[in-house]
Amino acid sequence: MRRTIYTTPAVKQILTAVSWLFLKLIGWKLEGRPPTEPKYVLIAVPHTSNWDFPITLAMAFIFNFEIFWMGKDSLFKGWKGPVMRWMGGIAIDRSSSNNVVEQTIEAFNNNDRLVVTIPPEGTRSKVDKWKTGFYYIAVGAKVPIGLGYLDYKRKVGGFKPTYYPTGDADKDIAEMRKVYTGIAGKFSDQCKLD
C-alpha cells in the first residue's frame, strides 16, 4: 500500500502525541481492542457527524493501526486529493456503476495488511437499514469485521468483539446491530440501531 500519515516517519510519532492530547482535551476515552488480524473490514457505527472523522483518526493513532476509508470522489478534487489519500482516503465515484465491493475485495487480496473503514449506514443521515457492501466485502475477502464505535453520550470510542461473518447476511447484520444497542451518535435522533 502507499505511504500514509500512519506510516510516515516522525509524522506518526507527532500525530500520536497530538491525538492523545486532542482526545484528552475533548474528554474522550478509549476501550476495547482492535482485531488482531492483519486484514479486516472496520465498521464505524453510528455515523452522524463530521466530528466522527477526526475522532476516528485519533483513535487509530492511539490504537496503533493504519486505516483506509472511502469518501465521495468530490473530496479528492484538486489539491485535496493527495492530502486525502495520504490520510488513508480512497475515492469512490457514487455516480458510476463501478463495483466497489469487487474492487475492495481485490485490494484485500493484493495486500498482506489492510483495514478499510466503512460506515454501514452509508451516510450521516438517519437510515432504517444498513447498506450491505461492507458485509459482502468481508465475506468475499474472507476477513473478519471489526466493530468500531463512537459513543458521544459517554464520550468513549473503541471496539466491540471482532465479528466473523457466517455468510448469512440477514442473521449476521441483525446480530451486529444488537451489539450497538445503547450507543449514541453525536446526533442521536439520526441513530436507529435497534
Quote the pLDDT of residue 41.
96
User: Could you give the count of Cα atoms lying within 13 Å of 156 in the half-sphere of its Cβ?
Assistant: 12
Residues in the chain: 194
Q: How far apart are CA 168 and CA 177, in angstroms?
A: 14
Q: Per-domain residue ranges for the chain?
A: 11-190
Q: How far apart are CA 9 and CA 34, in angstroms?
A: 23
C-alpha cell at 11: 509524522
Quote the pLDDT of residue 193.
47
Q: What is the pTM of this model?
A: 0.82
Quote the pLDDT of residue 185.
66
C-alpha cell at 118: 466503512
Quote the pLDDT of residue 71.
76
Quote the pLDDT of residue 124.
43
Strand partners, 48: none
- Is the omega angle on the peptide bond into residue 46 within 30 degrees of 0, that is, cis? yes
Instruction: State pLDDT tens for residues 96-110.
Output: 545 788 888 888 998
List, for the chain, all residue ranges whose pLDDT scores fall below the cut of 70.
1, 47-48, 94-98, 121-128, 184-185, 187-194
Q: How far apart are CA 13 and CA 108, in angstroms?
A: 27
